Amino acid sequence: MSAGGALSIRQVTKVYDPEGVHVVAVDNCSLEVASGEFLVVVGPSGCGKTTLLNVIAGFEELSEGEIRLDEGPLALPGKQVGPGAERIVVFQNGALFPWKTVLENIAYGPVVQRRMAKNEAQRSARELLRQVGLEGIEESYPAELSSGVQRRVEILRALINEPRVVLLDEPFRGLDAVAKSVMHQFLLDMFERTRCTMYFITHDLDEAIFLADRVVVMTTRPARVKLELSIDLPRPRDHRVLGTERFLKLKQAALEAVHEEALKAFQAGERELA
């Protein structure tokens, strides 16, 4: 599998201006993500995190600034490279085709983009399933799977494209504590195996610190970087790291920053309605 790509987000601003209602979603935001880095972004709801992810993914255009992937331009004002296999999004709500089998779902991308023949893609999909101990579900349909397995299939569907960057927007939202911790181990395994660059959005600080090389806390809208935490916990990680003094120190710093922004967002919301 391919190695990760380096993302360079330079002074990006995104303004929505439907009928003159000037809403600044992202304000002069700069962020460097190293090749093979696991970056986790946290911040209040509606702070513009997802907007930024959408711009990186090529779903939306930026208003100002520049985004580069390995020095190739991805986005400039008025010039946007559309979505591509080198940066794949894993969505929070299953985007699997319900009428296709697991195997067909995973093999879909490379076939439709004519990068692999159907046989080759399916072989590759089987191999991925085998690697993660999910053999036996190739011919199942998504509805026959638990939401946890669906989410893993979703991630494999991204990885088969050998992306340089995987963009994940709260992929484990709604799972209970047990399921989440199984998913974390799964994603870390995949990360160690592929060393794709990960750009991961969440609200869950334990999740953030457990997974990340670096955690970035965003401000309330408009989104800017409020705090960067380098997560110097050794890898490979398992749940025992959660109880270490270092982990708790990092969590404390992140909690303070996030809580401050959450309160600001909350109070602003109340004022708006009054």
Partner 1 sequence: MSTVRRNFGEFQVTGLTHAYGGVPVLEDCSLEVPRGKLTVLVGPSGCGKTTLINILAGYEAPAGGRVLLDGQPVGGPGPDRLVVFQETALFPWMTVEQNVAFGCRVRGMPAGEMRERVQAVLVKVGLSDFQAKYPSQLSGGMQRRAELARAMVNDPKVLMLDEPFRGLDAMTRSIMQEFYVGLFEEVGRTNLFITHDLEEAVFLADRLLIMTYRPGRIKEVIEVDLPRPRTFQVMATQRYNDIRQHALELLFEEASKAFEAGSKAAFDLVDGLARAAGRQ
Site for partner 1, rule CB under 8 A = 44-46, 133-137, 145-149, 175-179, 181-182, 203-204, 206, 239, 242-243, 245, 248-249, 251-252, 255-256, 258-259, 261-263, 265-266, 269-270, 273-274
Q: Letter for the amino acid at 239? A: H
Nearer to partner 1, 90 or 265 (CB): 265
Shortest Å distance, C-beta 70 to partner 1: 33
Shortest Å distance, C-beta 170 to partner 1: 9
Between CA 63 and CA 27, with CA 225 as vertex, the angle to 5 degrees is 25
Query: DSSP characters for 70-81?
Result: TTEEEEETTEEP
Between CA 146 and CA 152, with CA 148 as vertex, the angle to 5 degrees is 115
Nearer to partner 1, 13 or 140 (CB): 140
Nearer to partner 1, 3 or 255 (CB): 255
List strand residue ranges (DSSP E) for the chain, in order. 7-16, 23-33, 38-42, 64-69, 72-76, 79-80, 87-90, 165-169, 197-201, 214-218, 225-230
> Dihedral through CA 156, CA 53, CA 198, CA 138, nearest 10?
0
Crossing angle of helices 102-112/147-159, nearest 10°? 20
| Alpha carbons 34 and 260: distance in angstroms, whole number | 28
Q: Which two tokens stand for residue 176?
A: 């209970």
Shortest Å distance, C-beta 125 to partner 1: 16
Shortest Å distance, C-beta 268 to partner 1: 11
Shortest Å distance, C-beta 101 to partner 1: 16
Q: Letter for the amino acid at 236? A: P
Neighbouring C-alpha atoms within 13 Å toward the C-beta of 249 = 8
Shortest Å distance, C-beta 202 to partner 1: 8
Nearer to partner 1, 152 or 164 (CB): 152
Nearer to partner 1, 161 or 202 (CB): 202
Nearer to partner 1, 165 or 205 (CB): 205
Nearest to 23 by CA among 5, 42, 48: 48
Shortest Å distance, C-beta 133 to partner 1: 6
Nearer to partner 1, 13 or 185 (CB): 185
Shortest Å distance, C-beta 273 to partner 1: 6
Nearer to partner 1, 86 or 206 (CB): 206
Nearest 5°: phi and psi at 111? -70, -45
What pairing do the DSSP bridges indicate for beta strands 165-169 and 87-90? parallel
Q: Coil, strand or helix: which one is 152?
A: helix
